[in-house]
Amino acid sequence: MTKISLKFSAYVPSLIIVVGPTASGKSGLALQIAQRLNGVILGADSRQVYREFDIGTAKPSLAEQQQVPHYLIDICEPTETLTVADYQAKAQELIQQIHVRQEQVPLLVGGTGLYVNAIAKGLIIPRVAPQPNLRQQLTELGQPQCYAFLHQVDPAATQRIHPNDAVRTLRALEVYYATGHTISAQQGENPPNYPLIYVGLDCGEDLRQRIAQRTHHMIDAGLVDEVHTLINRYGADLPLLNTLGYAEIKQHLAGDVSLAEAAALVIRHTQQFAKRQRTWFRKEKAIEWFDANAPDLIDRVWDYVSDRLVGLDAKPVMGGPSFLSP
């Protein structure tokens, strides 16, 4: 596809935010918008930041990443810990660089609500260093018990953290034990001083079918082999392997469930996760929602976005500079 960019007569720093439940088509939509804007995509997914976790996280393909520069993807090893504060610092630095260059428009794209809010609302996040000994003790307790305890001490956190998300569960408990206060209670706000343009994507009841289709596609694409390789390389106790899509396949590889049963579990758990995402994002009144099934979706979104890019004299030109290295 030919890349289209826009010529700026007066560049106004801004941020386009594309959100919605998993499997709604956010990445594809953002890719098309970024191509029209000569934009760059900043990932807002708490698992896509990790290398080697590709198929199960629906990470943009290498071909897609070559069409438009992508950042905040594949920035950590699976054994490393990336806190929300770490993510926020990296994202804010990138956005600032893009705005200073005054040539491209950043798009923040993903379904991790806390990551989105860390940037869009400028969450003031407690900086607590990872505590390996505590993590080891909590890991030995098991994710179900840790999540149950988190629900007792910080129910607000469990509204945004999936029951299978061991990484974020452990982090929330780390903050609680280190400070004596919940992570939810310590998050103030310092909003950015540039305009935000929110785009929400959803598809109603069709999302169930999309989730089922995507799950089967992941399995056909080699998800079982991916999980098997990760277990051999890092061990079955790696916290990321207890997250959605990986935990269920791990059960299959352990002989506890058949592949068909594992797929059914992934579908059910993903549907539950999507429901939680919807609840989270629907609280943000600034989001303009679009039907992912609309035949003219890209044109509708483009009209909405371009109308709100204050200060842009949108004249399509071919090509356009790419000033950051992915």
Task: Identify any residues that bridge with 278 across adjacent strands, giving them in sequence order.
Answer: none
Window from 27-41, 106-120, 162-176 with minimum mean pLDDT: 162-176
Give the pLDDT confidence score for residue 180 in this predicted structure. 83
Write out pLDDT tens, residues 66-123: 999 999 999 999 999 898 999 999 999 999 999 999 889 999 999 999 999 999 999 8
Task: Return the CATH architecture of domain 15-125+190-308.
Answer: 3-Layer(aba) Sandwich (3.40)
Q: Is 7 annotated as a binding residue?
A: no
DSSP codes of every residue in 290-326? EETT-TTHHHHHHHHHHHHSTT---EEEE-----S--
Q: Is 200 annotated as a binding residue?
A: no
Class of domain 132-186: mainly alpha
Is 23 a known ligand-binding residue?
Answer: yes
What is the four-CA torsion angle of 309, 312, 316, 317, rounded to 10 degrees?
-130
pLDDT score recorded for residue 102: 86
Consult the annotation and say whether 24 binds a ligand.
yes
Question: Domain boundaries in the chain?
Answer: 15-125+190-308, 132-186
Torsion of CA 21, 22, 28, 32, to 10 degrees: 30
At residue 106, φ and ψ (nearest 5 deg) are: -80, 140
The angle, 0 to 180 degrees and rounded to 10, between the axes of the packed helices 166-179 and 132-141 is 120
Query: Binning pLDDT at 50, 70 and 90, where does residue 9 land?
Result: low
| 122 labeled binding residue | no
Q: Is 235 within any annotated ligand binding site?
A: no
d(CA 289, CA 239): 34
22 is in an annotated binding site: yes
User: Is 184 among the annotated ligand-binding positions?
Assistant: no
